[in-house]
Structure 1
Amino acid sequence: MDLAVLRQAKIYFSDRYFNEGHPTNAYHQLRVHDDFQQRVKAALLEKDADACAVLLGLLLVANRLRNNFLHGEKAAYAFANQLKNFRHANTVLMYATPLWGEQ
């Protein structure tokens, strides 16, 4: 498995959702459930987070992007600036799929 995929997605999402360790407005709009806040923050902010923790955090981000895209307040932003989000989220999903036996 190419861990560079996870590193690139981690860099992209950590830059998008955190500024000097503090959540951005984009992070708040992601609406991560309280039960998963620490996992997402650890995955995106901890330099020494292991690949499993990073993958889990990135999958949680991808889930929130998907949920917000299909059920969120689409009219408020009209899908603006979502292409990079979904490119990185899809890359994470493609990385993770073989882990469940899909080829």
Structure 2
Amino acid sequence: MNAIEWLHNHAPGFANLSAEEREAIMQFSLLWSLFESGALKTNGNAKAIADLSAHWANQGGLAKDSFAQALAYFQNRYVGNGGFTYHFGHLHFRNGDKKELVERVLRGESDAPSDIAAAVLIIVFRYRNNYLHGMKWAYELKGQLGNFTTANAALMEALELYGAHGAAP
């Protein structure tokens, strides 16, 4: 029996996921691992992400639209009716996760490319923590296709920037 068959038989909700959902989740695991091992020098945290984003901006690698699609998705998901949505609380920010930066960017109060990149990648980092530490399994991974598809696109953009401009010193 392979791992997918085992998960299908034993993991809550896994059997209800579409092939597209399963693929997006598996791709996320691979992309995050590559991003964290290289661009973050195996030290995945919000400060490292903010430092990396500032480095790319200083190298001239970031434009306002570098992460525009991800930002639009996250603003739609996490901001509404003049405040933050129910989903925003489920990112489970911890101390040191630069929640205030993410909030400023999502509210449109900062359009600095380094802030946008950092905010997007910090949200992706929260997905990573929530997924790998089991919180997403509590929801049986339901309704996560858009999140993982958006996160994967952001990670591919980040990996391209890493390839062109390297990691933060």
Calculate the TM-score normalised by the size of structure 1: 0.83
Shift of 1:100: 2.1
Q: How many residues align?
A: 103
| Greater relative CO, 1 or 2 (CA 8 Å, sep 6+) | 2
Contact conserved, 1:3 with 1:51, CA < 8 A, in 2?
A: yes
Calculate the TM-score normalised by the size of structure 2: 0.54
Q: Supply the distance in 2 between the matched residues of 1:8 and 1:95 (Cα, whole angstroms).
A: 11
Alignment partner, residue 16 of structure 1:
77
Alignment partner, residue 38 of structure 1:
100
Q: Supply the distance in 1 between the matched residues of 2:88 and 2:74 (Cα, whole angstroms).
A: 9
DSSP 3-state at the match of 1:41:
helix
> Which structure: greater helix fraction?
1
Q: Supply the distance in 2 between the matched residues of 1:31 and 1:21 (Cα, whole angstroms).
A: 20
Q: Supply the distance in 2 between the matched residues of 1:37 and 1:50 (Cα, whole angstroms).
A: 16
Alignment partner, residue 161 of structure 2:
99
Residue 55 of structure 1 is aligned with which of 96, 106, 117?
117
Q: Supply the distance in 2 between the matched residues of 1:40 and 1:7 (Cα, whole angstroms).
A: 14
The residue type equivalent to 2:126 in the other structure is R
Larger Rg: 2
Q: How much identity, in percent, do the aligned residues show?
A: 32
Q: Supply the distance in 2 between the matched residues of 1:82 and 1:72 (Cα, whole angstroms).
A: 14
Q: Supply the distance in 2 between the matched residues of 1:2 and 1:50 (Cα, whole angstroms).
A: 9
Contact conserved, 2:121 with 2:154, CA < 8 A, in 1?
A: yes
Shift of 1:48: 4.8
- Deviant stretches of 4+, over 4 Å: 1-5
Q: Supply the distance in 2 between the matched residues of 1:65 and 1:26 (Cα, whole angstroms).
A: 12
Shift of 1:59: 0.4
Compared CA separation, residues 25 and 34, structure 1 to 2 (3 A): farther
Gaps of at least 5 residues in structure 1 are none
Contact conserved, 1:5 with 1:91, CA < 8 A, in 2?
A: no
Contact conserved, 1:17 with 1:25, CA < 8 A, in 2?
A: yes
